[in-house]
């Protein structure tokens, strides 16, 4: 772990900073932060070399203030790097990750968790990339107007796009062009299959486990595991008890079982770490916070994982994926066709720029503002 950076795919500390301190870093010391699964001493003890910090906002912000909320989470991640430069270094490329690790920093990357954060807008996606976002989870626990989420498979949500819509496929192409990693955690099976067929770049599951060991729809079935392997992608194992054992209780060895299974089905090149710390309420005994990563690595070695296998899982596999994503990115102009207005129209959205049968769509902002106010009161 001192030679190869442990790069974890998903940590929700920024969400905890919002809930506890309204992102006021001046009111918290990350060296002494208690009550969370992540702080600076725990990261150091856990030998974390790289971390994707989640810029997350819940699904109930969709069609409302999702973009603003996500921007605030991106901002607090940047301010973490500015406030603690001796620990965190915000990076955006494989070369920067490697250099940061050599300098003893936690290479800090940004992942947006949920496609609702871009408000079905290509410009927002591009601006997020410019702000340092290097992956986007296509859905969280709600459909977007262009992609279906995992609750569709569970029967809790109706299918809306049957995977990706036509616009959703354009989002995938734009992410490939930008060099933004596609994250399939939280997506439906149809969405997974559509992306695996369409994407020119490898994909990731930033925080999901093996469905064969725990039949939770947030996990990855064997068939998808094999296709992710063929695509050159990775599945970064989630530590949440309900995704590890499908029960309230779990232990470190249960998590190691998921590593073993993914390795068996898809090869050691397809596995990584995606703890989901500070985004979950129950963690396995022996993996209670980020300081326990070395214990899991030791368990893999006890299970006869080779040094090559472990180094690949720690960070080598992710760096390979990210490098391929970077190679595929293009400087050609991005897509600029908007999503059809009827797919996104709601009480709180204006429609400037849209046309109806060649005639500008005339909207009355005051009327829409009143409708939005009524909507908020009723909801």
Residue 13 near residue 277, CB atoms below 8 Å = yes
Residue 186 near residue 137, CB atoms below 8 Å = yes
Please give the pLDDT value at position 361.
Answer: 52
Checking if the pLDDT of 207 tops 50, the result is yes
pLDDT digits (tens, 9 = 90+) for 155-178: 999 999 999 999 999 999 999 999
Q: How many CB atoms lie within 10 A of CB 330?
A: 11
For residue 151, the SS3 value is helix
Element (H, E) at 79: helix 66-83
Please give the pLDDT value at position 357.
Answer: 45
- Identify which has the larger pLDDT, 239 or 350: 239
Q: What top-level class would CATH report for the domain 6-340?
A: alpha beta
Checking if the pLDDT of 374 tops 90, the result is no
Residue 375 — pLDDT band, cuts 50, 70, 90? low
- How far is the C-alpha of 232 from the C-alpha of 204, rounded, in Å? 9
**Which of 158-162, 342-346, 372-376 ranks highest by mean pLDDT?**
158-162
% residues pLDDT > 90 (the chain): 90
For residue 30, the SS3 value is coil
pTM for the model: 0.94
b/e map 7-29, b = 16+ CB within 10 Å: bbbbbbbbbbbbeeeebeeeebe
Residue 112 near residue 55, CB atoms below 8 Å = yes
Phi-psi region of 132 (alpha: psi -120 to 50; beta: other; left: phi over 0): left
b/e map 102-124, b = 16+ CB within 10 Å: eeebbbbbbbbbbbbbbbbebeb
Please give the pLDDT value at position 189.
Answer: 98
Please give the pLDDT value at position 144.
Answer: 98
Please give the pLDDT value at position 358.
Answer: 44
Mean pLDDT within 1-23: 98
Would you please indicate which residues are annotated as catalytic (active-site) residues? 10, 12, 113, 140, 186, 207, 276
For residue 307, the SS3 value is helix
Please give the pLDDT value at position 369.
Answer: 53
Element (H, E) at 111: strand 106-113
| Phi, psi values for residue 86, rounded to 5° | -75, -15
Element (H, E) at 236: strand 234-237
Residue 376 — pLDDT band, cuts 50, 70, 90? low
Please give the pLDDT value at position 363.
Answer: 45
The pairing of strands 359-360 and 355-356 is antiparallel
Mean pLDDT within 275-282: 98
Please give the pLDDT value at position 5.
Answer: 98
| Phi, psi values for residue 223, rounded to 5° | -60, -40
Q: Domain residue spans in the chain?
A: 6-340, 345-379
Q: Alpha carbon of 130 to those of 2, 91, 92, 153: distances in Å?
A: 31, 12, 10, 34
pLDDT digits (tens, 9 = 90+) for 121-153: 999 999 999 999 999 999 999 999 999 999 999
DSSP, res 149: B
Task: Tell me which residue of 280, 207, 205, 199 sits closest to 238, measured CA to CA.
Answer: 207
Computed over every residue of the chain, the mean pLDDT equals 94
- How far is the C-alpha of 174 from the C-alpha of 158, rounded, in Å? 26
- Identify which has the larger pLDDT, 6 or 364: 6
- How far is the C-alpha of 20 from the C-alpha of 229, rounded, in Å? 39
Please give the pLDDT value at position 364.
Answer: 42
The DSSP bridge partners found for residue 108 are: 51, 90
Please give the pLDDT value at position 334.
Answer: 85
pLDDT digits (tens, 9 = 90+) for 44-67: 999 999 999 999 999 999 999 999
pLDDT digits (tens, 9 = 90+) for 63-96: 999 999 999 999 999 999 999 999 999 999 999 9
């Amino acid at each position: 772990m001192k030679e190869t950076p442990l790069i974890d795919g998903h940590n929700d500390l920024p969400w905890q900073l919002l809930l506890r301190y309204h992102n006021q870093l001046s009111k918290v010391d990350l060296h002494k932060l208690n009550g969370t699964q992540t702080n600076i001493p725990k990261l150091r003890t856990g030998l974390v070399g790289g971390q994707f910090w989640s810029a997350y906002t819940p699904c109930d912000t969709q069609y409302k203030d999702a973009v603003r909320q996500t921007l605030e989470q991106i901002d607090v991640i940047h301010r973490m790097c500015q406030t603690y430069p001796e620990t965190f270094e915000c990076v955006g490329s494989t070369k920067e990750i490697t250099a940061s690790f050599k300098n003893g920093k936690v290479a800090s990357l940004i992942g947006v968790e949920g496609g609702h954060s871009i408000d079905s807008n290509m410009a927002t996606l591009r601006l997020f990339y410019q702000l340092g976002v290097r992956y986007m989870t296509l859905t969280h626990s709600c459909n977007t107007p262009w992609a279906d989420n995992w609750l569709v498979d569970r029967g809790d949500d109706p299918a809306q796009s049957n995977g990706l819509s036509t616009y959703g496929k354009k989002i995938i192409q734009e992410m490939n062009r930008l060099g933004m990693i596609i994250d399939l955690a939280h997506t439906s099976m149809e969405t997974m299959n559509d992306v695996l067929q369409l994407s020119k770049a490898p994909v990731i599951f930033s925080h999901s486990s093996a469905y064969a060991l725990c039949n939770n729809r947030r996990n990855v079935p064997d068939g998808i595991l094999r296709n992710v392997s063929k695509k050159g992608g990775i599945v970064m194992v989630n530590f949440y008890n309900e995704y590890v054992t499908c029960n309230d209780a779990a232990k470190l060895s249960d998590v190691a079982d998921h590593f073993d299974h993914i390795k068996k089905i898809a090869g050691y090149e397809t596995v990584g770490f995606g703890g989901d710390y500070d985004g979950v309420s129950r963690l396995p005994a022996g993996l209670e916070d980020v300081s326990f990563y070395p214990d899991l690595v030791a368990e893999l070695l006890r299970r006869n994982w080779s040094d090559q296998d472990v180094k690949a899982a720690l960070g080598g596999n992710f760096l390979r994926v990210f490098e391929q994503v970077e190679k595929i990115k293009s400087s050609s102009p991005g897509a600029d066709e908007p999503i059809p207005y009827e797919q996104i129209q709601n009480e709180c959205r204006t429609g400037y720029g849209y046309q109806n049968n060649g005639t500008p769509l005339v909207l009355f902002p005051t009327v829409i503002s009143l409708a939005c106010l009524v909507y908020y009161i009723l909801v």
